[in-house]
Structure 1
Amino acid sequence: SYWAPNIFGHDALTALAIVGREVPRIEIGTSVVPTYPRHPIAIAQQSHTVNAVSNGRLCLGIGLSHKVVVEGMLGLSYDKPVRHLREYLSILMPLARCEAAKFAGETLTTRGSLSGVGSSPFSVVVAALGEQMLRVTGTLADGTLTWCTGPKTLQALTVPTINEAAKIAGRPAPRVIAALPVCVTKDVVKAQEFAAKAFVIYGQLPSYRAMLDHEGAAGPADIVIAGTAEQVKQRVADLAGVGVTDFAAVEFSSDPDEIAATRDAMKSLI
């Protein structure tokens, strides 16, 4: 799988339309598209287009972003984010299955359907971290895509919460896609120092800060996967034992040779 970020640069879905056309076979996904700026019908329409271009290989990853972005940059209300996610998925999921959506909520309303040449269902995962978000996601969506969430938290919080919610809802076992920084290196301390600077912002955002606190980590540098190729591969493999179904490697280093070594190590796990 290839996961395209959607932060303040290129639009991930637009980029994946090109990637999906040029790169065959692999799954392509967004990590993640913010929900607040786009109505679920709009994001479903764009996703169906990308899914058609890529012959049904899209996994749409969505997330609520952060209060500082939604209110500070966009001027929108971040009130009751759990309600927002529930209403958003209540509209998006039928549309993702190529069904009509009919829903009237407190903040979102839809009555309609989409049709397009080559449309087929696409899966939806949510950047759900906290317990309430995980329960909504397990009930309605196809899985979660985590970031800054270490193995202890994945085992104790993420996996059991989302699995229980899916089971109660009568849904298939959800995907748990864990994204973590990875570096094959001979100098772990140097790698952690680099990570502390590169990922410093994530330790300051409340949703990620909560996951780091749950893990007992002072900052993002404490949850990176760094070491020799064998050490890195073993730590990635160990995630399956706590219930992670997919791993998304976020390579980091200032050394091109370490980036290449990290990529080689990850390729060997496929």
Structure 2
Amino acid sequence: MRIAIGVGPEVVGAPAQPGEIVEQVRKAEADGFASAWSVHFSRGVDALSVLAVAGAGTSRIALGAGVVPTYPRHPLALAQQAATVQQFCGGRFTLGVGVSHRPVIEGLHGLAFTSPAEHMREYLSVLRPLLRTGEVSYRGRFYRVEGGFTVPGTTPMPVLVGALGPRMVRVAGEYADGVVTWLAGPRTLGDEIVPALLKASSAAPRIVAGLPVAVCDDAETGRAAAEQVFARYGGLENYQRLFAREGVSSPGELAVTGTETQVAQQIKRYAELGVTELWATVYPVGDAPAASIARTRALLAELSG
């Protein structure tokens, strides 16, 4: 299982300038991480633009965006942008797409959050051919696209779907290269997502699991810190359903936290469940946040190496 480090602090509620995120990618490569992933929030920095710059300034580290909301971006426009990012990254880019959440799509963008699984199926039916060949001919309920674009020097890229429920996992298995999850714990991944994805996929799928990670001397303290940092996710319907399936009541209970030995054991468990890449979102614990983050990164870099 590959260890990825999250870049960009928006997920922990501390926005950064785009150039600072680029520097985080460069540091991740220097520290030996195999890959770095950036979230893409509708109210924040455009992850694809940042990763294009980061890709041009690095040479080895794999880069991913997870996930770009589909409803606000026409699949041809996203494919054109992603193909351009891939050229800057030298073939190291993975695109994650997802339907986001009803309050974001309807409240912020003013768009109808209609038939998300069917919408994603059509979206991928347009997006994937464009990323492979630059051309598509498709007529469906949501999209009618005829034509394409040319980005010299680009190459096809993996596409992953942000999926937590069974219908979206099935779409990911049939139309994409795998899934990227956030806050899906061992029960949801091991009992539901991984088996369903393997059943729906014709090839070995990628399973990228995003989770909060913090190394500290006391796991309960680590979970309490996660409750504060990631509290916003407790109010979203998609994650409330996920917590119910997982048998927990809040995001802090899904944090990977504890001593170095305990965190390493938890990460090993995800590998045993079939996760192919663990996307670690490092968060601080205690009164010395910089030292806390450095301690966690040190363990993750060691495990990545």
TM-score of the two chains, using structure 1 as the length reference = 0.96
Is the Cα–Cα contact under 8 Å of residues 185 and 258 in structure 1 kept in the other structure? Answer: yes
Higher mean Cα deviation, 178-187 or 92-101? 92-101
Is the Cα–Cα contact under 8 Å of residues 3 and 248 in structure 1 kept in the other structure? Answer: yes
Q: Does 1:225 align with 2:256?
A: yes
Is the Cα–Cα contact under 8 Å of residues 98 and 119 in structure 1 kept in the other structure? Answer: no
1:109-148 → structure 2 map (5 Å cutoff): 109-148=144-183
Q: For 1:49 and 1:24, how far apart are their aligned partners in 2? A: 17
Q: For 1:237 and 1:99, how far apart are their aligned partners in 2? A: 39
SS at match of 1:269: helix
1:62-108 Cα shifts (integer Å, max 9, x gaps): 11110001001111000111111011000011112125211111111
Shift of 1:212: 1.2
Unpaired stretches in structure 2, ≥5 consecutive residues = 1-34
Q: For 2:293 and 2:203, how far apart are their aligned partners in 1? A: 36
Shift of 1:151: 0.7
SS at match of 1:192: helix
Is the Cα–Cα contact under 8 Å of residues 122 and 143 in structure 2 kept in the other structure? Answer: yes
Q: For 1:266 and 1:234, how far apart are their aligned partners in 2? A: 12
Q: Which has the higher contact order (CA 8 A, sep 6+)?
A: 2
> RMSD of the alignment, in Å?
1.0
SS at match of 1:71: helix
SS at match of 2:133: coil
1:1-270 → structure 2 map (5 Å cutoff): 1-7=35-41, 8-166=43-201, 171-254=202-285, 255-270=289-304
1:95-140 Cα shifts (integer Å, max 9, x gaps): 1212521111111111112212102101100101100000011000
| Percent of aligned pairs sharing the same letter | 41
Shift of 1:193: 1.5
Q: For 2:228 and 2:88, how far apart are their aligned partners in 1? A: 38
SS at match of 1:62: strand
SS at match of 1:78: coil
Q: For 1:202 and 1:266, how far apart are their aligned partners in 2? A: 24
Q: For 2:176 and 2:255, how far apart are their aligned partners in 1? A: 28
SS at match of 2:86: helix
Shift of 1:205: 1.0
1:128-167 Cα shifts (integer Å, max 9, x gaps): 110000001100000100001101110000000111011x
Moved segments of 4+, more than 6 Å: none
Shift of 1:257: 1.1
Q: For 2:143 and 2:229, how far apart are their aligned partners in 1? A: 37
Is the Cα–Cα contact under 8 Å of residues 96 and 122 in structure 1 kept in the other structure? Answer: yes
Q: Which amino acid aligns with 1:266?
A: L
Q: For 2:58 and 2:154, how far apart are their aligned partners in 1? A: 19
Is the Cα–Cα contact under 8 Å of residues 98 and 114 in structure 1 kept in the other structure? Answer: no
1:197-226 Cα shifts (integer Å, max 9, x gaps): 111111221111111111101100001010
Higher mean Cα deviation, 190-199 or 257-266? 190-199
- Count matched residues: 266
Unpaired stretches in structure 1, ≥5 consecutive residues = none
